[in-house]
Structure 1
Amino acid sequence: MVTRDGYNGTGNESKALNSNTIASLGTAELARRKQMTLQQAQAAGKHGKADVHMHSTYSDGSATIEQILQHVEHNTDLDVIAITDHDVIEGSLRARDLWREGSYRFDFIVGEEVTTKEGHLLGLFIEKRVPAGLSMERSIDLIHEQGGLAIIAHPLHRFFRHSCQRTVMDRIHAAQDVWFDGAETWNASFCGIYANGVAMSINRQRYGLPELGNSDAHSLSAIASGVTWFEGENATDLRTMILAGQTAPGGKLWNVGAYAQWVRYLVSKQGREARRERINTDIAQIA
């Protein structure tokens, strides 16, 4: 098991942040339930913009890897992205290969959204798939063993079964040998409509985890609706700022067009075939 103090030389920073009961440094000046605005980010020197939670056709997203890369390049001002499909990493690895072959202006992080027994968890900066259905602690360990970051996805939604609840966060917060590296306190999808304010408020009062904002995009038009503000311009800078507690969540919720684009895909022949393929894959993995 990886220890906090031994984790990539950054464990002491993470331990210090997780032991606080106040907001992390990146959100200390924000109102308890508010995300950071563009003007606030610029004033704080946080000129980097990242969106490290989005989905492709490798899981339940409507856009291909190639479409996502082209869209981010030409239709956003994002500096860093990660593709985090549900319980698969192949799409993200494929995206990195294409990104390396191209001349994109943004940086790329390999990631996965892991379905644990107690909520979804983002694994960033990883190379190997983390299996679904494990405990939160074991999932975090498998991410840390690869040198990755474990970020809670859309936490504290009372009615969403894949949202990590306070009892779990309390348990991890009290542990000495396992920890979260951050929390997604702004989720631009339906998962955040109720829970974003709750997540920001409770995190700033209780956990003091570094905060991220993400789109959780399932369609192209949703990408960059949620963002993480940070000092720097690339993935290395983003990682450093997360571990230093210097990131802040920002953005807006999905618009109607983003929902419509995703629903059209889900009911299309392509979407139905993709769902059947995922179900068959899940059955094969269980067997």
Structure 2
Amino acid sequence: MRIDLHVHIKRHQSLAELRRILRKRNLGGIAVTNFHNVSFAYFIRERLPEFLIIIGQEIESSAGHILALGIHALIPDRLAPQETIHRIHAQGGFAVLPHPYLLRNSIFYHAHSPRLAFDAIEVFNWRCGPWLWPNSVAALAFRHVQLPKIATTDSKEAHTIGRSCIELAAQSEAEVFAAVRAGNFIRHEETIYPSWTCAKDYFSKLFLPHRSLVCFHCHDPLHFRPYPRKRACMQCGYLETMFVTCAHGHYICSCCRTQNAFKEEAFMRFRLKRGVEV
């Protein structure tokens, strides 16, 4: 079975389109690892019973991102990496170090390695492809580390799911984790090389209004800035360094944005029915 263990799925993603992509890529399953949220993974699992859907979360620890797979309840962000991993294992989950050399949002593993009990390392992240060096450095730096080394997409769009994945002999979540721990899998990697399109998309974000995104408070267009500034969340007060803001300087942190987005009636009913936290 082929499985992509690092997938982000948007709330309004068409289930028919998602099902079509999984079949097209010959995937037997995915791990849904949205930020600040596990209820949507349960929502997807109930609606795609023909696939193995692993409940996961990408957690923003105090030192960088950590992937939690096979959990059943939300794990708080902003905890120390050791505490985050402890909470993953307390739920019987599987802790993965994602994109270790992406710099921003990544844990510098070698500075923390004696204290961090990861179960696997993501040495190939499809979304890092255009930058080339994060995956190359990860493969080189971890070649002597005795941990399973997986490939994923870190997909944010449905059409990219499964472009990089692992292949193993498993039919259940427990069998997937057992096979990964034993190293009984094959990595499938697809590299995106730098192009004019990648460069244009990146730099246009820095200097032009990104009109597909609007401020959650005043609904004006958001602007990406080349120099980040610290902003206090208007709801919880959390200070965060950000590249994006509206012209009025309003800011709502990603955790509060997720909480707001999932207050829609359909998801409130679903969470009440399942007893699942956001």
TM-score, normalised via structure 2 length: 0.67
Task: Find 2:44's aligned residue among 71, 95, 100.
Answer: 95
Structure 2: which amino acid aligns with 1:209? L
Structure 1: which 4+ aligned runs deviate by more than 4 Å?
A: 258-261, 266-269, 273-278, 283-286
Letter in 1 for 2:7: M
Q: Tell me the residue number matched to 1:125.
A: 70
- SS at 1:117 equivalent: coil
1:163 aligned partner:
106
Query: Which 10-residue stretch deviates more, 274-283 or 110-119?
Result: 274-283
**Structure 1 pair 108–240 and aligned structure 2 pair: CA distance change class (3 A):** same
Letter in 1 for 2:93: G
- Any unmatched runs of 5+ in structure 1? 1-47
Shift of 1:161: 1.5
Is the contact made by 1:65 and 1:91 (CA closer than 8 Å) also made in structure 2?
A: no
Counterpart of 1:204 in structure 2 is 143
Name 1:247's counterpart in structure 2. Answer: 185
Work out which of the residue numbers 10, 20, 28 in structure 2 matches 1:79.
28
- One-letter code of the match for 1:188? W
Kept after mapping to 1: 8 A contact 2:61/2:79: yes
Give the whole-Å Cα distance in 2 for the aligned partners of 1:153 and 1:214. Answer: 9
Count the aligned residue pairs: 220
**Counterparts of 2:169 and 2:71 in 1: how far apart (Å)?**
22
Q: CA deviation at 1:280?
A: 6.2
1:55 is aligned to 2:4: no
What is the percent sequence identity of the aligned residues? 21
Question: Is residue 187 from structure 1 mapped to residue 115 from structure 2 by the alignment?
Answer: no
- Is 1:108 aligned to residue 53 of structure 2? yes
Q: Is the 8 A contact 1:211 1:247 kept in 2?
A: no
Secondary structure at the aligned position of 1:237 is classed as helix
Deviation for aligned residue 1:99: 2.2
1:273, CA displacement in angstroms? 7.0
Q: Is the 8 A contact 2:55 2:71 kept in 1?
A: yes
Gaps of 5+ in 2: 220-234, 236-250, 260-278
Cα separation, partners in 2 of 1:194 and 1:68, compared to 1, 3 Å: farther
Alpha-carbon offset, residue 117 of structure 1: 1.2
CA distance in 2, matches of 1:196, 1:280: 29
Q: Which has the higher strand share?
A: 2
Q: 1:282 maps to what in 2?
A: 255
AA at the equivalent of 2:66: L
CA contact (8 A) 1:117 1:136 kept: yes
1:180, distance to aligned residue in structure 2 (A): 0.3
User: How far apart, in 2, do the equivalents of 1:254 and 1:89 lie?
Assistant: 29
The offset of 1:185, in angstroms, is 0.6
**Does the 8 A contact of 2:59 with 2:65 survive in 1?**
yes
The Cα offsets for residues 176-234 of structure 1, whole Å up to 9 and x where unpaired, read as: xx5100001110003773211211222122x2211111011111221111111323344
Aligned residue for 1:189, secondary structure, equals helix
Structure number with the bigger relative contact order (C-alpha 8 A, sep ≥ 6) is 1
Rounded to whole Å, the distance in 2 between the matches of 1:240 and 1:70 is 26
| Partner secondary structure for residue 87 of structure 1 | coil
**Residues 213 and 285 (structure 1 numbering): CA distance in 2 closer, same or farther, change over 3 Å?**
closer
Cα separation, 2, equivalents of 1:245 and 1:144: 19
Q: Output one character per residue of 1:97-141: Cα deviation in whole Å (capped at 9) or x when no partner.
A: 2123xxx2x311011111111111110001111111111111101
Query: Pairwise mapping of residues 228-243 of structure 1 onto structure 2 (< 5 A)?
Result: 228-243=166-181
Using a 3 Å threshold, how does the CA distance of structure 1 residues 51 and 88 change in structure 2: closer, same or farther? same
Match of 2:95 in 1: 150
Structure-2 change in CA distance of 1:91 and 1:233 (3 Å): same
Task: Determine which structure has the larger helix proportion and give its number.
Answer: 1
Code of the aligned partner of 1:154: H
